[in-house]
Amino acid sequence: MSWIANFVRPKLQKLVGGSKEVPDNLWYKCPDCGQMIFHRDLAKNLKVCQHCDHHMRLGANERLEMLFDDGVFEKVEVEAPITDPLKFRDVKRYTERLKESKAKTKSNDAIMVAHGKVSGAQTVMAAFDFAFMGGSMGLAVGDGVIKAARLAVKQHAPLVVLTSSGGARMQEGIHSLMQLARTTIAVEEVREAGLPYIVILCDPTTGGVSASLAMLGDIHISEPGAVIGFAGQRVIEQTIRETLPEGFQRAEYLLEHGMIDMVVPRKNLQAELAKVIDLLMVTSKATKPMTVTTKSTAIVEAEILPPVTVTNAEIKSDADSKKDGIESRDESKK
């Protein structure tokens, strides 16, 4: 029997062209209504269920392709400044988890930074990838946001961040929590330059990301049904010993309670984003960009935001060249 199983069968299978496996990705089951959807229909419908309008999760690359004109954009590489700073290990080593996620998503970490045009307007975007360790925010993600923010200032372009994250990355401990402060300061740099910062809250945006950069936008846009919150629904229910209302922490609920500005179906997202950028860039042109960087804040920033390739000096020299006469006269007084 073993001779047949080990020798004859593999030879025969080789002769007839291997095992005839039916690809299991031709049909996709909607996680919400359970209907089967043909994969081509799903792709055509931007991964939205045509039966129940459920918006499925997208990878960072898919998101960027969907929002930039003709899906064309230039990627900015983001490398982790230190990998595995705590030499963390649970059931698996953190380095192993990183390797697996990198292979799965073909990305260096849970964020993708890119720049390109949105309806003709130069835009910088940073998209979280939930498939990479739950989109958790560690050092590399923090760096990605800072890189994107500084690029936006350099290009005098709006910054759009697409969040999809479970929160801080526990494998990086305190380093991960520091990213809440770092990304907040990065967003502040964009604001100080008088540029719009738009957040698109994708399903799910929770934990440390919702407690920092995700809730600091000038405009918050979300997709139907997206889960947005800090702690999970079950944790809150167990803590306050109460049943939470229907649709709690969903995009529509947040819109009703004034936490976000718009809930936009995926097919209209690019058009709506272009409209918002157009509107905000007009106002940012009307009100002059405020590039006030005193010496002391520049030093503090350098201490808090060290490992990025776009240096403070570069930005400062860039900003200096743009400054008009009044501001340079102010400088000479100092």
Nearest distance in Å: CB 258, Zn ion: 29
Nearest distance in Å: CB 33, Zn ion: 3
> C-alpha dihedral over 321, 326, 330, 333, to 10 degrees?
110
Nearest distance in Å: CB 137, Zn ion: 30
Distance between start and end Cα atoms, the chain:
91
Q: Return residues touching Zn ion (CB under 5 A).
A: 30, 32-33, 49, 51-52, 54
Please give the backbone phi and psi of residue 92, each rounded to the nearest 5 degrees, phi first. -135, 155
CB 225 within 8 A of CB 250: yes
Nearest distance in Å: CB 53, Zn ion: 7
CB atoms within 10 A of CB 228: 23
Nearest distance in Å: CB 45, Zn ion: 11
Taking the least distance from each CB to Zn ion, the nearer of 49 and 269 is 49
Nearest distance in Å: CB 50, Zn ion: 8
Taking the least distance from each CB to Zn ion, the nearer of 32 and 188 is 32
Taking the least distance from each CB to Zn ion, the nearer of 213 and 251 is 251
Taking the least distance from each CB to Zn ion, the nearer of 51 and 275 is 51
CB 218 within 8 A of CB 277: no
Taking the least distance from each CB to Zn ion, the nearer of 49 and 127 is 49
Sheet holding 121-128, edge to edge: 73-76, 111-118, 121-128, 159-165, 197-205, 219-222, 262-263
Nearest distance in Å: CB 48, Zn ion: 9
Helix H, strand E, coil C: the string for 221-279 is: EECCCCEECCCCHHHHHHHHCCCCCCCCCEHHHHHHCCCCCEECCHHHHHHHHHHHHHH
Residue 314, token pair as written in the block: 């570069």
Taking the least distance from each CB to Zn ion, the nearer of 54 and 191 is 54
Query: Can you tell me whether residue 313 is helix, strand or coil?
Result: helix
Nearest distance in Å: CB 36, Zn ion: 10
Q: Return the exposure string of 11-29: e unless at least 16 CB atoms fall within 10 Å of the residue's CB, then b.
A: eeeeeeeeeeeeeeeeebe
- Helix residue ranges per DSSP H, 68-118: 94-105
Taking the least distance from each CB to Zn ion, the nearer of 32 and 278 is 32
CB 171 within 8 A of CB 140: no
Taking the least distance from each CB to Zn ion, the nearer of 39 and 316 is 39
